[in-house]
Amino acid sequence: MNHKKPLLALALLCAAGLSHAGEKEELLKLRNTTTNLIKQLVKQGILSEKTANDMIKQAEADADQQVAAAKSAAPAEKASKEVVPADEVRVSYVPEFVKDEIRQQVRSELREEVVGDVMQKAKKEQWGLPGALPEWVNRFKLSGDIRLRAQSSFMASDNAPIGNYTDYPAINANNGNTNSQNQYINTTNGRALGRERVRLGIDAKITDSVDAGMRLATGNISNPVSINQSMGTYGGRYTFNVDRAFLRYNAVDDNHFNWLTVMGGRTPNPFFTGGSELVWDNDVSFEGIMGTVRHNFLSADLGSAIGGKGPTVYGTAGMFPLQSSTGLSNRDKWMFGGQTGLDWGFDNQDSLMLGAAYYDYRNITGIVDPQLNTCTTYNTATPPVCTSYENNSSAEVMQSAPQFMQNGNTLTAISNTNTGQLYGLASNYRILNFNVLYDLALFSPHHLKLSADYAKNIGFNSNDIMSRYPGGTFVTGGAVRNELNSAGTSAWQVRADLGWPKFDVAGHWSVFSLYKYVGSDAVLDAYTDSNFHPGGASNFGSTNVKGWVVGGNYGLMKNVWLTGRWLSGNMIKGPAFGVDLMQFEINTHF
């Protein structure tokens, strides 16, 4: 097509010359030029030899007819001769193949332009939809995901035998029963589990600035850190509960910058974590009210000069009820949290995110019953052994026992029950948390992400603990703690990710590795990673552990990908207890 256009233009000029040249020499030159032109078209493969011969014969026949018609019309032309401007060229004959080419080109250009305009208008006006669907349908968005997981745990060969670690979460869940089969944490027997996670979300646009979100999910209704459903219940149906339900307000300025977000209800995690689960497991949903204010400090011109749009500084604050009082108690448990940070994207696609947070837990320490260990009945042995303890604990004492916990935090006995004792948290938890994430696009489309997370519980005070629980016995990670100090109040993690930012596309991949150290009382064990060093009857995660994780993702097709990871953790204090965990998953989302 690129070679045809200049040759066709030359043919038009030759045809134009025919209408003005009357001399025999000019006609011969024009004939030879046209003939040579057609031969060149044959050589270049634009025309076949047969087509070229047909064109020459047709041109000769058309020329004879044109000459005859010109002679018969000559008298009339002389009678009414028209004045032709000097800058105007009249072409009396254009070959048919030139006309066809012009028609095809014009038709193609018009088609593209007209179709584009029609499609744009149809998209804008939603042709065919307004009459078929009601208006409210456009305000809803449905999404969800299904994950199938195969999980196997392997116990270290040098682990302490069963009986060295007591399962205090299971004891509290059984109203202090220390005689159940789940009294001790399994330290020797590996196990395999099949697990499934199903989530179904609905987002609704209420106004231009207000939206609502709701999500249903599988999992144990009383477990905030896992929405997995373990298989193997004799075919029993899965529970499907409300995992999120919230209202959200977004304020946007004239430059379409979202400077304010306020949420209330059961919401996603409002705090930046950099992908770390050191403080918050990824499955945790927050209950309460919270808000985030953002400000971009640099102008667009200055941001361009230094690379990027300038840093966005943000501040997030919220108040979250953890456990409402029951009975006659007014001792509600709360968490007040705040975070400030930086979000900076650069022109080269790199990005930097920082966050500094403070989490203050209120009324979560255990209150000891004054009658703890007060015996009401002895047997006749020598020396006599108590067979029944005082069991008239106040509502405040009973309320102080955690409604949910995993493993690792320092505990102490707080109350007697008919079958044993309840345990509560010994330390206060006021946690400083720092996160940093740098996304390096040097190998784009592959990215290298480097992140770090550090947490410190400044609420731990050994003197305060001893004054509140004089003569008490303390346990950490299920084992008796012989001394109280601040050695277990720090936690940290470093992580690296390499690969595609999104791996839900066929052939996309990523690999990752991390190392973490989590002191016994550095974070509240109720909300930390539920997969790292699982133990106990409910396969919970733990603090007082250290170890590493390696894994990867690979996209099979659109919205379907595989994930595999190996987690290896060891108890920091107490008898030897190491657990390796292998997980293999098929993930989908829609």
Predicted confidence at residue 295, as pLDDT, reads 93
Residue with tokens 């390096």: 440
Q: 274 or 325: which carries more pLDDT confidence?
A: 274
Predicted confidence at residue 111, as pLDDT, reads 67
pLDDT for 277 beyond 50 = yes
Query: Is 240 in contact with 217 (CB distance < 8 Å)?
Result: yes
Question: In 3D, which of 313, 314, 300 has the Cα closest to residue 347?
Answer: 300
- Largest separation between any pair of C-alpha atoms in the chain: 150
Predicted confidence at residue 19, as pLDDT, reads 46
Predicted confidence at residue 325, as pLDDT, reads 76
Q: Which of 135-144, 240-249, 331-340 has the lowest mean pLDDT?
A: 135-144
Question: In 3D, which of 292, 348, 284 has the Cα closest to residue 316?
Answer: 292
Q: 247 or 64: which carries more pLDDT confidence?
A: 247
State pLDDT tens for residues 176-235.
Answer: 776 666 688 999 999 999 999 999 999 999 999 999 999 999 988 889 999 999 999 898
Beta strands in 156-274 (DSSP E): 191-205, 210-217, 229-230, 241-252, 258-267
Q: Which residues contact 579 (CB under 8 A, 6 or more apart)?
A: 153, 154, 155, 156, 533, 534, 535, 568, 569, 570
Torsions phi, psi for 278 (to 5 deg): -65, -45
pLDDT for 276 beyond 90 = yes
When pLDDT is cut at 50, 70 and 90, the band that residue 1 belongs to is very low
Question: In 3D, which of 362, 312, 315 has the Cα closest to residue 336?
Answer: 362
Strand order through the sheet with 479-481: 421-425, 410-416, 474-476, 479-481
Q: Mean pLDDT, to the nearest integer, of 486-505?
A: 94
Distance CA(298)–CA(286), nearest Å, equals 32
Q: 337 or 96: which carries more pLDDT confidence?
A: 337
Distance CA(132)–CA(126), nearest Å, equals 11
Residues pairing with 410 in the sheet? 476
Predicted confidence at residue 249, as pLDDT, reads 98
Stated as kind and residue range, the H or E segment containing 398 is helix 395-400
Distance CA(250)–CA(231), nearest Å, equals 40
pLDDT for 18 beyond 50 = no
Q: Which residues contact 36 (CB under 8 A, 6 or more apart)?
A: none
Instruction: Give the number of other Cβ atoms within 10 Å of residue 137's Cβ.
Output: 9
Of all residues in the chain, the percent with pLDDT exceeding 90 is: 50
Q: Mean pLDDT, to the nearest integer, of 450-478?
A: 90
Most confident of 49-63, 337-351, 376-390: 337-351
pLDDT for 49 beyond 90 = no
When pLDDT is cut at 50, 70 and 90, the band that residue 416 belongs to is confident
In whole numbers, what is the pLDDT of the chain averaged over residues?
Answer: 84
pLDDT for 61 beyond 70 = yes
Distance CA(265)–CA(288), nearest Å, equals 5
Q: Mean pLDDT, to the nearest integer, of 462-488?
A: 83
Q: Which of 217-221, 271-275, 365-369, 538-542 has the lowest mean pLDDT?
A: 538-542
Q: Mean pLDDT, to the nearest integer, of 391-414?
A: 85
Distance CA(574)–CA(560), nearest Å, equals 42
Kindly state the tokens that stand for 335.
């968490």
Distance CA(477)–CA(542), nearest Å, equals 7
For residue 158, the 8-state DSSP code is T
State pLDDT tens for residues 571-580.
Answer: 998 899 999 9
Domain covering 136-534+541-581 assigned CATH 2.40.160 in the classification: yes
**Cα dist. 313→38, 252, 294, 443, 492 in Å?**
71, 16, 6, 27, 24
Predicted confidence at residue 399, as pLDDT, reads 84
Predicted confidence at residue 20, as pLDDT, reads 46
Distance CA(530)–CA(543), nearest Å, equals 10
Predicted confidence at residue 21, as pLDDT, reads 43
State pLDDT tens for residues 67-92.
Answer: 676 666 555 555 555 555 655 555 55
Four-residue CA torsion sign, 404, 406, 409, 412: positive
Predicted confidence at residue 244, as pLDDT, reads 96
When pLDDT is cut at 50, 70 and 90, the band that residue 387 belongs to is low
State pLDDT tens for residues 320-354.
Answer: 999 987 666 678 999 999 999 999 988 888 999 99
Kindly state the tokens that stand for 432.
């400083």
Q: How far is CA 47 from the centre of its chain?
A: 58
Q: 318 or 25: which carries more pLDDT confidence?
A: 318
Torsions phi, psi for 299 (to 5 deg): -70, 165
Query: Is 136 in contact with 448 (CB distance < 8 Å)?
Result: no
Predicted confidence at residue 472, as pLDDT, reads 80
Q: 124 or 480: which carries more pLDDT confidence?
A: 480
Predicted confidence at residue 282, as pLDDT, reads 95
Instruction: Give the number of other Cβ atoms within 10 Å of residue 461's Cβ.
Output: 15
pLDDT for 303 beyond 60 = no
Predicted confidence at residue 119, as pLDDT, reads 72
Q: 420 or 574: which carries more pLDDT confidence?
A: 574
Q: Mean pLDDT, to the nearest integer, of 119-135?
A: 65
Q: 14 or 488: which carries more pLDDT confidence?
A: 488
Distance CA(401)–CA(420), nearest Å, equals 14
Q: Mean pLDDT, to the nearest integer, of 473-493?
A: 84
> Half-sphere exposure of 103 toward its Cβ, with a 13 Å CA cutoff?
7
pLDDT for 263 beyond 70 = yes
Q: Mean pLDDT, to the nearest integer, of 514-539?
A: 91
Q: Which of 108-112, 170-174, 433-437 has the lowest mean pLDDT?
A: 108-112
Predicted confidence at residue 505, as pLDDT, reads 95
3 state DSSP class of 410 = strand
